[in-house]
Amino acid sequence: MKYFNILILLAGFFTACQPTPKNEKSMSDNPLLSKWETPFGVPPFNQIKSDDYLPAIKEAVKIHEKEIAAIVANKEEPNFENTIVALERSGADLTKIRKVFYAVNAAHTNDTLKTTAKEIAPLLAKHRDNILLNQELFKRVKKIYADNDKLGLNNEDTKLLEKTYKNFNRAGANLGEKEQGRLREINQNLASLSQEFGDNVLDDTNSFELHVTDEKDLGNLAQGYIANAAAEAKKRGHNSGWSFTTQRPSINPFLASSPNKELRKKMIDAYTQRGNNNNEFDNKKLISEMVALRLEKAKLLGYDNYAAYVLSEAMAKTPQAVLSFLDQVWKPALSMAKKERDVLAAKMKSETGQDNFGEEDWRYYVEKVRAERYNFDENETKPYFELSAVVQGAFTLANKLFGITFTENKDLPRWHPTQEVFEVQEANGKHIGILYMDYYARESKKGGAWMNSLRSQSRQGDVFITPVITNNFNFPAPSEGMPTLLTFREAQTVFHEFGHGLHGLLSNVTYESLSGTNVPRDFVEFPSQVMENWTSQPAFLKLYAKHYETGEVIPMEMIQKMNEANQFNQGFATVEYMAAAYLDMAWHMLEEGNVEDVNAFERQVLDKIGLINEIESRYRSTYFNHIFSGGYAAGYYSYLWSEILDADAFATFKESGDLYNQDLASKYRTMISKGGSQDGMELYKEFRGKEPDIKPLLTRKGF
């Protein structure tokens, strides 16, 4: 799964200082609170200990509350600088520490970090409410907002003022005291429940193991995956055999390779039942509570449902617009998926005589049909997609489009020894920012792939603050002298997250809360997804897809077979994703929040759209981290929405006859450099000259 953190406005008050226990560091010794005397000001990961975060965050909250109090106490007439800009600049210590904590907790957690996350979730929710429900502060903001037309602000200043006022209004600043009190309770409860949900998914994922003892059950599994499974078995106390988990780098290759239907069934059931096993990691009760609380919050704020509340600030604007959009694609996608199902089921029956084709069989027989129909075996292409070469391919693309370069710096501190760190520079050598790359799956890392901003770009006077960005993946680690070889789809994931990274790195705005990926949810996936388009182009493949042993460029015949084979199964990929998007909307369009049976509700939603039994929603509710723990509530549709933009945008490069058209690349860079300082559709129209057309997307998918 592909997802990243969006900066939110944090503020508020906390309890008075407590004496420092003898066994704790004093605040002056806490590396998180000191000035970071590191190259480029990156976090001093080599000095930070897990138990440093909690006291540092608590202290940063106190610092922040004093800054807010000073804004409120200012005797001068409220103006843009002494209120809006002052509020924007406040909380710098907390923002700095919070960004690092959440990045490390997602990528390399431990028991101390998990405990800290649970404690600070309600603390920070309360802190945010204490600012956004501060009536004296809101009076100042409201007065400035009312005088907006008289202030002579530039476009970015105006956007910041509008966003600040909306943040207060959407947080309930216009509500009565009783309603605000209830809203505070809701926000703190939601913060705790969201953290617990994500922890449960990770723990339930790590608790499952399928131990295989018969080599025949591995099928044609690639050697790298076999080595990783053997290492996993040893780690889990077995003297022999191979162990598979429900982490994607483990389960997906097994499902595509193992000829043992029974074992495939065990694996797919374990994956789709995460958070739904009636054990200590069960998430059903949490979902019911969260949905009810979100609905109550939306209604307190004057919306019919939570989706209406969320989408009022998105490009789509309304839940009805989202459903109308999804419906345009669903029918042709489902029709194609049914045709794919029939082909796969027929293949299984021809080989086994069985006609009980199920979801556990889909990936296995996709590979069979691809091999038969297109003479294509994905294992033949993997040697051409060695991880480091793919990463360099992404860097090459950025260089050809924007002239920027990436130079590894082995001396910078990092949170895990396998991370790589790169300095990003303009063609003239000017420093742009720092990019961290964390490639490998581990038990301490949440699933999927995502981008974090450890420091967002901004300007303070004449000082240009450069960004520090991370890309995070879950690829299998190299083993027994073998490098990490990727599937083509995994290679596309590198380019996808790198696109998010560029969105943060190339930002050029004044205010941090408007920089980089601080844009509406249904625009944020556009700069990431557009980068994927180059990966399948023969001319570009020849620049980076080279055999890891021989250096041979991927043959044109293999490229053609790969692209044709990847077109097959587009129905499945689109339908499983869209089922999750419909499920997300259904949960958040509820106008009554009392859902007692989570599984029954989910089944009702999926039956209503006609999802076939052989395809499961990409995310079932009980492990749907995106919407219950990751900020994508009523926003999971945005990947497909952004696909319209990315397909249409890439069509301009294709139409120009130059994949690296410098004029278009410059316009594109200008567009994404503006972050959230302009409306997303306005930015897109400035780049394209018109609104996006859905036809390139439908053509690309073969619909």
Question: What's the pLDDT band for 73 if we cut at 50, 70, 90?
Answer: very high
* In a shared domain, residues 463 and 532: yes
Question: What number is the average pLDDT over the span 280-299?
Answer: 97
SS3 472: strand
The sign one gets for the Cα dihedral 218, 220, 221, 226 is positive
Residues 388 and 531 in one domain: yes
What pLDDT digit, counting tens, does each position of 435-485 carry?
999 999 999 999 899 999 999 999 999 999 999 999 999 999 998 788 999
Mean pLDDT of 325-352: 96
Q: What is the mean pLDDT of residues 354-372?
A: 96
Instruction: Give the H/E segment covering residue 73.
Output: helix 53-73
- Average pLDDT (624-639) is 95
What span, in angstroms and rounded, lies between the C-alpha atoms of 522 and 434? 26
Annotate 651-679 with DSSP letters as a single string: HHHHHHT-TT-HHHHHHHHHHHHTTTSS-
b/e burial code for range 170-185 (CB count within 10 A of at least 16 → b)? bbbbebeeeebeebbe
Grade residue 593 by pLDDT with cuts at 50, 70 and 90.
confident
d(CA 108, CA 48): 13
Best-predicted range by mean pLDDT (10-19, 593-602, 662-671): 662-671
Match 């998914």 to its residue by tokens.
201
Residue type, 648: D
Burial pattern 57-72, b for ≥16 Cβ within 10 A else e, equals bbbbbbebbebbeebe
With a CB cutoff of 8 Å and minimum separation 6, the contacts of 102 are: 5, 452
Which two tokens mark 448? Answer: 């999927």
439 and 391 fall within a common domain: yes
List strands edge to edge, sheet with 431-440.
405-408, 420-425, 431-440, 468-475, 450-455
> What are the Cα distances from residue 633, in Å, to 222, 307, 400, 578?
37, 8, 36, 14
CATH number of the domain at 93, please. 1.20.1050.40
Q: Is residue 372 a contact partner of residue 561, using CB atoms and an 8 Å limit?
A: no
Q: Note whether 144 and 233 are same-domain residues.
A: no
Would residue 485 count as lying in a domain?
yes
User: Mean pLDDT of all residues in the chain?
Assistant: 94
Residue 164 has pLDDT above 80, yes or no: yes
Which residues make Cβ contacts (< 8 Å) with residue 489, sequence separation at least 6? 566
Contact criterion met (CB below 8 Å) for 416 and 67: no
| Mean pLDDT of the region 289-310 | 97
CA dihedral 536, 538, 541, 542 (to 10 degrees): 170
Q: Which of 104, 106, 669 is nearest to 432 (CA)?
A: 669
The phi-psi region of residue 635 (left if phi > 0; otherwise alpha if psi is between -120 and 50; otherwise beta) is alpha
Residues 216 and 110 in one domain: no
Instruction: Considering only residues 703 and 686, tell me which one the structure prediction assigns the higher pLDDT.
Output: 686
Q: What is the mean pLDDT of residues 61-69?
A: 98
- What are the CA-CA distances from residue 45 to residues 30, 41, 50, 97, 684 (Å)? 12, 11, 10, 12, 38
Q: For residue 172, what are the contacts with CB-CB under 8 A and spacing of at least 6?
A: 132, 133, 179, 180, 183, 300, 301
Q: What is the largest CA-CA distance in the chain?
A: 84
Is 525 labeled as catalytic in the residue annotation?
A: no
The encoded tokens of residue 384 equal: 């051409």
Nearest Cα residue to 385 out of 255, 161, 541:
541
Same domain membership, residue 155 and residue 226: no
Q: How confident is the model at residue 224 (pLDDT cuts 50, 70, 90)?
A: confident
**Residues β-bridged to residue 408:** 422
Of the residues 59, 232, 497, 532, only one is catalytic, namely 497
**Domain finish residue from 171, 195, 223:** 171
Report the distance separating Cα 400 and Cα 396, nearest Å.
Answer: 6
Does the structure show a pLDDT above 50 at 16? Answer: no
Residues 162 and 212 occupy one common structural domain: no
- Give the whole-angstrom CA distance, residue 1 versus residue 576: 12
pLDDT of residue 28: 74
Q: Do 609 and 662 touch, CB atoms closer than 8 A?
A: no
Residue 459 lies in a domain: yes
Nearest Cα to Cα of residue 512 among 121, 4, 2, 10: 10
- Is residue 288 in a domain? no
The model's pLDDT over 257-282, given as tens digits with 9 standing for 90+, comes to 999 999 999 999 999 999 999 999 99
Is position 32 within any domain? yes
Phi, psi of 242 (to 5 degrees): -140, 135
Condensed to tens digits (0 to 9), the pLDDT of residues 101-152 reads 999 999 999 999 999 999 999 999 999 999 999 999 999 999 999 998 899 9
Q: Are residues 92 and 218 in the same domain?
A: no
Q: Are 565 and 487 in contact (CB under 8 A)?
A: no
pLDDT, position 25: 55
> Are 403 and 480 part of one and the same domain?
yes
Same structural domain for residues 164 and 219?
A: no
C-alpha 157 chain-centroid distance: 28
Give the CA angle between residues 119, 120, 121 to the nearest 5°: 95
This prediction has a pTM of 0.90
C-alpha to C-alpha distance for 20 and 30, rounded to whole angstroms: 12
Residue 646 located in a structural domain: no
Contacts of 271 (CB under 8 A, 6+ apart): 246, 251
Per-residue pLDDT of 568-580, as tens digits, reads 999 999 999 999 9
Q: Is 425 among the domain residues? A: yes
Is the Cβ–Cβ distance between 587 and 621 less than 8 Å? yes
For the chain, how far is it from start to end, CA to CA, in angstroms? 23
Q: Give percent above pLDDT 70 in the chain.
A: 96
β-strand partners of 386:
485
Structural domain contains residue 456: yes
Evaluate if residue 8 carries a pLDDT over 80.
no
Residue 2 has pLDDT above 90, yes or no: no
Domain end position, chosen among 250, 272, 294: 272
On the question of pLDDT at 10 being above 50, the answer is: no
Q: Please choose, from the candidates 207, 206, 103, 225, the residue with its C-alpha nearest in 3D space to the C-alpha of residue 477.
A: 225
CA atoms within 13 A on the CB side of 210: 25
Q: What Cα–Cα distance (Å) separates residue 678 from each residue in 157, 461, 466?
A: 11, 21, 21
Q: Tokens standing for 193?
A: 């429940």
> What CATH number is given to the structural domain containing 424?
1.10.1370.40
Residue 101 contacts residue 10 (beta carbons within 8 Å): no
Total count of domains within the chain: 3
Q: How far is CA 442 from CA 190, 249, 563, in A?
A: 28, 10, 31
- How many residues belong to the chain? 703
CA–CA separation, 96 and 119 (whole Å): 18
143, 253: one domain = no
Residues 208/636, Cβ–Cβ less than 8 Å:
no
DSSP string covering 499-513: HHHHHHHT---S-GG
Would you put residue 405 in left (φ > 0), alpha (ψ -120 to 50) or beta?
A: beta
Structural domain contains residue 632: no
Of 119, 150, 171, the residue at which a domain comes to its end is 171
| Domain membership of residue 68 as a residue range | 27-132+134-171
Residue 194 CB partners (closer than 8 Å, separation 6+): 121, 290, 628, 629
pLDDT-derived band at 702, boundaries 50, 70, 90: confident
Q: What tokens appear for 445 in the block?
A: 């890392």
Q: Are residues 94 and 149 in the same domain?
A: yes
CA of residue 485 relative to chain centroid, distance: 23
Confidence of residue 26 (pLDDT cuts 50, 70, 90): low
9 close to 167: Cβ distance less than 8 angstroms: yes
